[in-house]
Amino acid sequence: MLNHQLETFIQVAENGSFSKAAEKLYITPSAVIQQINNLEQDLQVTLLKRTRHGTQLTLAGDYLFQQAGPLIQTCREIEENLILIHRRDQQKITIGTSLLMKCRVFYPLWTRFQKEVTDQIPIELLDLSLNTEAYKADLIEGIDDGEPWQHSRSFLSLFRVPIAVAVARDHPLASKTCLTLADMQPYTLVTIRSNMSDELDRLQQEAKALGVHVVEVPRYDLSVFSRCIVQQDCLQTPLCWKDIHPDLVTIPCDWDYSLAYGFHYAKDPSPAVQEFLRFVRQIAETEALHF
């Protein structure tokens, strides 16, 4: 961005000769002379008087010398800021979010991380429900339940979340504080499709063995939640989803089934993501993380 001819002119003006300026700039005197000649030609003014004893500034040269110093400093500051902005843009971390993939532990961890690093790294939220490309986000927080999009990503497990059951607030089971599979025998248990998670498959098999009517759905969305409310079904759900629908109440169960919870991230994470995940791993080693 800086005009090297202008920088060369400053050196000549300060040192009073082409040869001394050449020493400062680590170039030949002829290269210095050529740059000054080109600068004068571009500006169409004479900046320096050439003498046997060196150089002297003309009135035009003196004016340029007085103005060029602050100008060069401004240009250097602009260049430094451009580099910083570019670096920060490259470090930006994208976060995929949705109704089910909320940032439950990310923000507290991110706040602590930002206090530890020199450069403040910006984040951008991507709505997973609006754009399938958002599943390529740097980080997606949530359960690890075998969804197809998870197969192409790595996963950092932070803790395990118990599998619970959600029912409508007016459901006969809604007042219970803990459910058993026997409680669900008169009802339909809605679960995610089989062959996605070994943990969920074992739960489905146990439910079927006890005579519970199990209905599999390809994915969870608002239509599934609405179906469970209208048809008085029981919905198999991780306990962390207890806030996803105001008309559903999530109840713990007496089994030991659970799913890993953490961060899904790209298999080739950016340096910024690697740094954040390294920070999270260090915290997870000494603290019991939860939401």
- The residues spanned by each domain of the chain are 4-89, 94-285
Confidence of residue 84 (pLDDT cuts 50, 70, 90): low
**Tokens 């499709």 belong to which residue?**
193
**DSSP per-residue string spanning the chain:** ---HHHHHHHHHHHHSSHHHHHHHHTS-HHHHHHHHHHHHHHHTS--EEEETTEEEE-HHHHHHHHHHHHHHHHHHHHHHHHHHHHHHHHH-EEEEE-SSS--SSHHHHHHHHHHH-SSPPPEEEEETTT-GGGGGSSEEEEE----GGGGGEEEEEEEEEEEEEEEETTSTTTT-SSB-GGGGTTSEEEEEPSSS-HHHHHHHHHHHHTT-EEEEESS--HHHHHHHHHHT-EEEEEGGGTTS-TTEEEE-BSS--EEEEEEEEESS--HHHHHHHHHHHHHHHHS----
* pLDDT score for 204: 94
Confidence of residue 25 (pLDDT cuts 50, 70, 90): confident
Confidence of residue 2 (pLDDT cuts 50, 70, 90): low
Average pLDDT over residues 160-184: 97
Q: Which two tokens stand for residue 28?
A: 């030949």
Q: Of the spans 45-54, 83-92, 163-172, which averages the highest pLDDT?
A: 163-172
Whether the pLDDT of residue 171 is over 90: the answer is yes
Residue 191's region, left for phi above 0, alpha for psi from -120 to 50, else beta, is beta
* pLDDT score for 94: 92
Q: What single-letter amino acid sits at 174?
A: A
Confidence of residue 87 (pLDDT cuts 50, 70, 90): low
* pLDDT score for 129: 83
> With contact defined as beta carbons under 8 Å apart, do 191 and 214 qualify?
yes
Confidence of residue 90 (pLDDT cuts 50, 70, 90): low
CATH number of 94-285, picked from 1.10.10.60, 3.90.79.10, 3.30.930.10, 3.40.190.290: 3.40.190.290
What mean pLDDT value characterizes the chain? Answer: 90
Of 18-22, 36-40, 83-87, 187-191, the range with the lowest mean pLDDT is: 83-87
Q: Same fold for the domain at 4-89 and the one at 94-285?
A: no
More confident residue, 133 or 87: 133
- The structure's pTM equals 0.69
Q: What percent of the chain stands above pLDDT 70?
A: 97
Fold of 4-89: Arc Repressor Mutant, subunit A (1.10.10)
Whether the pLDDT of residue 232 is over 90: the answer is yes
